[in-house]
A and B are shown apart, each in its own frame.
Chain A
Amino acid sequence: MSRDRFDILTLIGLAGVVLVTLFLLLGSGGRDLRLASGPSQATERALQERAQAAFFAETYAPVEELLAVNKPGEALLRLEQIERDLPAEAHTALLRGGILVRQGALVEGIGEYVRAVRSRADYVDTRSPLQRRAEIEQLLATALPVVQSQAQTNPDNQGLNRALRDLHYLQSRLAGGCE
């Protein structure tokens, strides 16, 4: 079968396309493909963090407003309502912990802080926009001496012993300890 000039030109063109494609795939083209598949991990993380922060700000705004006008009991009820839509959400536990401690239910409040930190490490992560290290440090500074002293005078009180363990757990997480 003889080939005319057009066939030869077509074959040369096809070979060229194959070569260019191979060059792109094996060379700098790989980087371009990665770009084409979506944002980098760092971008994704930043987006996720901002979306999370905006979501929490919006969802928990009524709770924060009630706390600002000194209505902790009503804020607690709003959290109960939110929990129906977002069961076991760590941010609910974190806010509830703060309210319970403020109301004087120390053991229960400390338990809620622990629940929050166990589910979302961001609260003790210095680099996270969600971090609440100062709040947790403040809790340790005020509650630890009280609970320690009460637990010593009431060694059989399981609630106080649990609260003491919880405070030590928070202390270790702040110090960089793992779960």
Chain B
Amino acid sequence: MKALLLAIICALFLTACDQATPRSKMRIGYMNCNSEQETTARFGPLTAWLSQQLNIDFELVPVDTQEFAERFSAGEFEFTHSNSLLYVILKKEQQLQLLATEKRGRYGARTAGTIIARKDSGIRTFADLRGKRMIFGPQLAPSGYLAQYNLMLDAGIDPERDLAYYAIPHGSFKHEKVVYGVYFGEYDVAAAPALDLELMIRDGKIFADDFTVIGESPIFPYCTFGAAASVAPDLASRFKQALLTLTPETTVDFGGETIKVLGSAWIDGFDPLIDSDYDVLRELAKKANMPPYQEF
């Protein structure tokens, strides 16, 4: 009888302990590619899966690209998912820890930038870009702005002086707008990410034959997961390992459905790149006088 009573008391204590120590809470800031709604829908299942794997309640924080560094500095989130240029900036300024690089498209964990024109435009070479109307992707986009800006500088074209003018589209789907801007004749040339061209051709939105590629950048790392310097190395390591174990078949129960984690996030997988893999991007940023190396 005494033993039974003891067992009941122990069980009560254990239950009480469970309730008294809830899972810790942490936040992952995801850079918006197009909109908050899209970011939330894409990364909700991945965030839920990470919560399960690491026994931490992760909160998904959608973040505008332009506000990303500022909000990270303000401590609004501990983990980051951003483009590779933001990783380079936060690594230099905030000692962000590199976790894993996202794989998407033919180049895997890397991507590239291209300068395109309509095939029937007569624009074939960099010299033909002088005096033309050009549309770039957003300014902090490595494969939609930085890569092309450098390609032009390398070819002796100063985008600030040699173009008739250049513009950056507003709102969401900027990369697609850039491609359509050239396709429908609003602009002569465009700074298009190689990945977006690949996906648009695959989806039948455009034909490869309709465009000519005037320049192609070298490949560099794609979107990247990072952890704040304050995140314990053990947790950062577990987060990284969790990402690397993801396969296209991994599922999570989310919103009453069983969902494929990678498919839902438009990701093919993750690669454990090392920081020096990002040096190519650092060189591009230095040459183009872009953050984190900008000098006035």
Contacts and interface: CB of A to CB of B under 8 A. Distances in A.
Interface of A: 62, 71-74, 76-78, 80-81, 83-84, 96, 100, 103-105, 107-108, 154, 156-159
Nearest to B116: A74
6 contacts: A73-B213, A80-B106, A96-B106, A105-B106, A156-B272, A159-B108
A73 B198 CA distance: 10
**Binding site secondary structure of chain A:** helix
B271 A77 contact: no
B33 interface: no
Contacts of B173: none
B198 A74 contact: no
B208 interface: yes
B201 interface: yes
Contacts of B110: 104-105
B108 A73 contact: no
Contacts of A62: 209
Interface in B191-243: 194, 197-198, 201-202, 204, 207-209, 211-213, 216, 218-219
Contacts of B271: 107, 157, 159
A107 B112 CA distance: 16
Contacts of A73: 112, 114, 194, 213, 216
Contact of B107 (A83, A84, A100, A154): A100
Contacts of A107: 108, 271
A83 B201 CA distance: 10
Chain B interface bracket (under 10, 10 to 19, 20 to 34, 35 or more): 20 to 34
Contacts of A157: 271-272
Contact of B213 (A77, A81, A156): A77
Interface of B: 106-110, 112, 114, 194, 197-198, 201-202, 204, 207-209, 211-213, 216, 218-219, 244, 271-272
Contacts of A105: 106-108, 110, 219
A77 B107 CA distance: 12
Contacts of A84: 201-202, 204
Contacts of B201: 77, 80-81, 84
A84 to B, nearest CB: 7
A178 B107 CA distance: 29
Contacts of B107: 100, 103, 105, 108
Nearest to A96: B106
Given A105-B106, A105-B108, A74 B216 contact: yes
A100 B271 CA distance: 17
B108 A108 contact: yes
A7 B113 CA distance: 93
B106 to A, nearest CB: 6
Nearest to A76: B106
A17 to B, nearest CB: 64
A108 B111 CA distance: 12
B242 to A, nearest CB: 13
B106 A100 contact: yes
Contacts of A158: 244
Contacts of B198: 76-77, 80
Nearest to A105: B107
B63 to A, nearest CB: 28
Nearest to A83: B202
A116 to B, nearest CB: 14
A14 B213 CA distance: 78
A158 B109 CA distance: 13
A71 B244 contact: no
Contacts of B211: 77
B208 A80 contact: yes
Nearest to B201: A80
B245 to A, nearest CB: 9
